[in-house]
Amino acid sequence: MRPGRARFRHWVQGRPSSGTPRCYPWAVNYAALASGSKGNCHAFSDGRRTLLVDVGISLKQIRLRMEEIGWDIGQVGAVALSHEHSDHIRAVPILLRHTDWVFMVTAETLAAVNAIHGIDIPPSRLIPLRAGHAADWNGVRVLPFTTPHDAVDPVAYRLEWDGFQAAVVTDLGHPTALVADHCAGLDLLALEANHDVQMLREGGYPPVLKARILSRVGHLSNESMAELLAGILSPRLKTVVLSHLSEQNNDPALARLAAAEVLRSSTTDLHLARQDTPLVVAAQAR
């Protein structure tokens, strides 16, 4: 065990998880530990290796939420960062100090994260990424691909894990052909459904913020989410997790209805990720 891991395990030690662990060996499991404007963190695990996508909540919350679903935080080894907005990178400095997790990130996003937090993530803690080029982490193929968002080098992620295919696609202003291409042939898709356009327009946000969210480099509406989902739906797609819902500008019932209309003739399971409560989708068979 490396020294960084030993320090980490001492620091995060808490009460034992109660109940039966909900992470099944010989399968890839997904969890939305948090999803929304206040912080985002997605997780994938096969019971031996755990990869996080974004860390917009505190390390304490990551630990508590993993305990809640029966996952072992000691199995986390890497974090893939999508872009530099605070609701996706909040925990990076404390993770740098108290864990030995590696960060998978593009060069431009790395520079932005370092500048925002006043840190310098060393090369030993990095797996450098380029959009459109796959990288390997412990046998997992991690493919970042470009999304239209108002960040320096925003990406979404497609993971190929022992035959299991998944993607986390949030923070995009509109559904591009490139995004649709990378969402084809998946087993699980975590997809943004940020806002209902009418709720946003009639809500209390300042006009400048409304314009940003509605722009082509803003966030995906329920309608645009349904458009993208309809274009990539296939018999292989087992699970859709609607993500990054705005608490002010969306209604979970409206987001669910928009997706359910697309999925009504399919056998795809539909879930909604939440801000304050973790969601786990277990046992995606290899």
Residue 2 has pLDDT above 90, yes or no: no
Under 8 Å between Cβ of 81 and 128: no
E strand or H helix that includes residue 191: strand 188-192
Residue 83 has pLDDT above 70, yes or no: yes
Query: What is the average per-residue pLDDT within 215-244?
Result: 98
Rounded to 10 degrees, the C-alpha dihedral 271/217/164/142 comes to: -140
pLDDT at 283: 58
pLDDT in tens, 132-177: 999 999 999 999 999 999 999 999 999 999 999 999 999 999 999 9
Query: What is the average per-residue pLDDT within 83-103?
Result: 98
Rounded Cα distance, 182 and 163, in Å:
16
- Name, in order, each residue with C-beta under 8 angstroms of 264's C-beta and a sequence gap of 6 or more: none
- Name, in order, each residue with C-beta under 8 angstroms of 259's C-beta and a sequence gap of 6 or more: 193, 222, 225, 226, 229, 240, 242, 270
pLDDT at 284: 60
Q: What is the DSSP letter of 103?
A: E
% of the chain at pLDDT higher than 90? 89
Burial of 22 (0-12, 13-18, 19+ CB in 10 A): middle
Query: What is the average per-residue pLDDT within 252-268?
Result: 98
pLDDT at 68: 97
pLDDT in tens, 169-207: 999 999 999 999 999 999 999 999 999 999 999 999 999
pLDDT at 27: 87
Please name the amino acid found at residue 261.
E
Rounded Cα distance, 136 and 13, in Å:
29
Structural domains of the chain sorted by starting position, each given as residue range(s) with its CATH number in brackets: 26-279 (3.60.15.10)
SS3 readout for 128-146: EEECCECEEECCEEEEEEE
Residue 25 has pLDDT above 60, yes or no: no
Beta bridge partners of 52: 43, 79
% of the chain at pLDDT higher than 70? 90
